[in-house]
Amino acid sequence: MTSFYYECTNCKAHYTTENVIYLCPQCSEKQEENEALKGVLKVVYQYETCEKDFKALQNTNFIELLPLNSYRSFPKLNIGHSPLYCLDIEHNDKKIIFYAKDDSRNPTFSYKDRASALVSAFALEHNLNTIVAASTGNAGSSIAGICAFMKQRAIVFVPEKAPLAKLTQILMYGAQLVPVVGNYDKAVEMSRKATQKFGWYNRNTAFNPITIEGKKTAAFEIYEQFDFQLPDRIFVPVGDGVIIAGIYKGFEDLLRLSIISKVPEIVAVQAAGSSNLVKNLNNETPCFESAHTVADSISVDVPAAFYLCKEFITNYKGKTVIVSDEEIISASAILAKTNGLFTEPASAAAFAGFLKWIDNDIESAKQKNLIMLTGSGLKDLKSVQNILNMPKAISDISEIESVV
């Protein structure tokens, strides 16, 4: 197996084990209700013995930077390697060029497949056949789809009001769906209790350190797709904080191998109704409020990866933007109508953050700005119904002028 150890985000203790481990045992014992997750573990590799040439790492599918015995353990699905587009829009009478990385092209149409694939592979290597997760929909449909391919059992706890399209995916993939009375945080609580009671392998982001290692792979692709350079700025939608933590971790790995000399500026974008991570970055004692936003995939009361994100954003001078639900839905429509990319609200938040950013700093629009598109718009059709005008049916061609 690749040589690595786990480091606690809070106390910095190290743990070396080939067995399943979730949180730092010391810090997790101090966990209190409504607190950000304590004891989140970061996977740290023996960088001094790792290959230092990026193309050589590519040739071995980055196995030296993954907690697996063999890359052959991965699902044989087209996960990751998502397209990078160079796009443009007219904004405030100016032509703005930007880049978008479209992870809705993954098998279950979201970024979450990156984490699910690695969790599934890790479970395979450790003879764990039942994987449990809590989800507002995307992570659940992701692990359900991956498990269907890998012939593993998936059990998914979801808030009872999760979007129907995502619940449909979970059921179609054959997973056991467990609706929970309450919100996402309640589903997380129930899934952890099930893990403890039945010994199922838990996929929950941040709780399981392997998920961040799966989500970091986009950073490697970004470096390659920008011709072994870096974009100036990356806009990432943030809820729990695990996608942005993963992207930071990928660039940090490359930095520690001296493949890159700096980490690009990364902008954490949150919805105004679910901005607990951004609002508490400078607070010694975080105070979290109930989340309410149309962007359900980033609607989180208590961001699980809060302390890890805070560390990354502080260390690498990250930036933040908060956008309203109205700005999110507007951004979704703009991106779809101008460039043919229909992305769900949680994903559109990143584009809304970019638009708000260049409104305040138009000079930055001349730089290489990358938007992370993390999920398909087909995941949540209800959220955009209010901005659609569905034409009436016609019965004769003579009526065509009334609708065109």
Q: How confident is the model at residue 183 (pLDDT cuts 50, 70, 90)?
A: confident
The least confident of 128-132, 159-163, 216-220, 292-296 is: 159-163
Locate 195 and state its tokens.
């893990």
User: Cβ(375)–Cβ(103) under 8 Å?
Assistant: yes
User: Cβ(229)–Cβ(319) under 8 Å?
Assistant: no
Top mean-pLDDT range of 5-9, 33-37, 90-94: 5-9
The dotted CATH code for 84-108+211-387 is 3.40.50.1100
- DSSP symbol at 105: G
One-letter amino acid identity for 392? K
Torsion of Cα atoms, 134 then 245 then 7 then 193, to 10°: -10
Number of H helices, E strands in the chain: 13, 13
> Which pLDDT score is estimated for 381?
84
Question: How is 362-388 classified by DSSP, letter by letter?
Answer: GGGGGS-EEEEE-BBGGG-SGGGGGG-
Q: How confident is the model at residue 138 (pLDDT cuts 50, 70, 90)?
A: confident
> Which pLDDT score is estimated for 346?
94
Torsion of Cα atoms, 201 then 193 then 9 then 4, to 10°: -20
Q: Kindly report the pTM of this predicted structure.
A: 0.95
Q: What is the mean pLDDT of the chain?
A: 94
H/E element, 8: strand 4-8
One-letter amino acid identity for 57? L
Residue 142 vs residues 131, 148, 149, 191: alpha-carbon distances, Å:
12, 10, 11, 16
> Which pLDDT score is estimated for 160?
86
| Cα 32 from Cα 400, distance rounded (Å) | 63
Residue 233 has pLDDT above 90, yes or no: yes
User: Cβ(45)–Cβ(312) under 8 Å?
Assistant: no
Output phi, psi for 67, to 5 deg: -85, 55
> Which pLDDT score is estimated for 1?
55
- Ordered by start, the domain boundaries in the chain are 84-108+211-387
More confident residue, 355 or 390: 355
pLDDT tens-digit series, residues 372-384:
999 999 888 888 8
Nearest CA among 292, 302, 275 for reference residue 204:
302
- DSSP symbol at 64: G
The least confident of 32-36, 124-128, 209-213 is: 32-36
> Which pLDDT score is estimated for 137?
79
Contacts of 40 (CB under 8 A, 6+ apart): 8, 9, 10, 23, 24, 206, 207, 209, 304, 305, 307, 308
| Cα 71 from Cα 93, distance rounded (Å) | 49
> Which pLDDT score is estimated for 399?
85
> Which pLDDT score is estimated for 403?
75
Average pLDDT over residues 72-83: 96
User: Cβ(302)–Cβ(31) under 8 Å?
Assistant: no
Nearest CA among 321, 318, 216 for reference residue 264:
318
> Which pLDDT score is estimated for 390?
82
> Which pLDDT score is estimated for 171?
95
Locate 345 and state its tokens.
């609200």
> Which pLDDT score is estimated for 382?
81
Average pLDDT over residues 178-204: 93
Average pLDDT over residues 87-106: 95
